[in-house]
Amino acid sequence: MALMSPARLRELYRQEFANPRRERLFLSSVAFFTAFAVTRGITHAIRRGVGPFRNIDPGGHHIHHLVFGITGLLTSGYAWLVQVGTGRRGDDDAASRITAVVYGASSAITLDEFALWLNLEDVYWARQGRESVDAVVLFGAALSIGLWGRYFFRAVGRELRRV
């Protein structure tokens, strides 16, 4: 079985994601799950002292990774507020893709420490740290439902307008 050519893959991508909103949902979902997996991998590596990763502790204050996630959420939210990356196809495709990826990845990085903001203490490795994983799963499901259920929800909306 031959692999699909890169040209055909690009063609299918353009065809299936001709709508910028749908493409943003897809890219956000991919970035969300990728960032969550990478973040968890890095935190486990830091804990075990494996690889080049270390905690960020300037002046003895530990900087949790949710700070970077919140910064990304604020940045992408502001960009969308002033309508950067929300135009029609061809107007600002790169900005649309970048803000979608930043939003998805930042959401994952922030939610990975959900237990910290829920408990107001560092419980990442404690039993309560599981709350972060639960939050990621729930939010990831919501992102995916929006992505994959879009046509269904539109059909239900059209049907409801007929009634």
> What are the sequence ranges of the domains in the chain?
21-162
- 103-107, 141-145, 151-155: the lowest-pLDDT one: 151-155
Please list, in sequence order, all residues whose beta carbon lies within 8 angstroms of the beta carbon of residue 38, skipping any fewer than 6 positions away: none
Residue position matching structure tokens 């709508």: 19
Give percent above pLDDT 90 in the chain: 23
Q: What are phi and psi of 133, to 5 degrees?
A: -65, -40
pLDDT score of 148: 64
**Model confidence over 120-143: pLDDT tens digits?**
677 676 777 777 778 788 888 777
Distances (CA, A) of 71 to 95, 101, 103, 135, 151: 17, 14, 10, 19, 32
Token reading at 84: 């950067």
Q: Which of the two residues, 149 and 132, has the higher pLDDT score?
A: 132
pTM, rounded to two decimals: 0.76
Q: What is the pLDDT of residue 85?
A: 79
pLDDT at residue 48 greater than cutoff 70: yes
pLDDT at 98: 94
Question: Within 13 Å, how many C-alpha atoms sit on residue 16's CB side?
Answer: 12
Q: Where are the alpha helices (DSSP H) in the chain?
A: 6-16, 20-48, 66-81, 93-111, 114-119, 130-148, 150-162
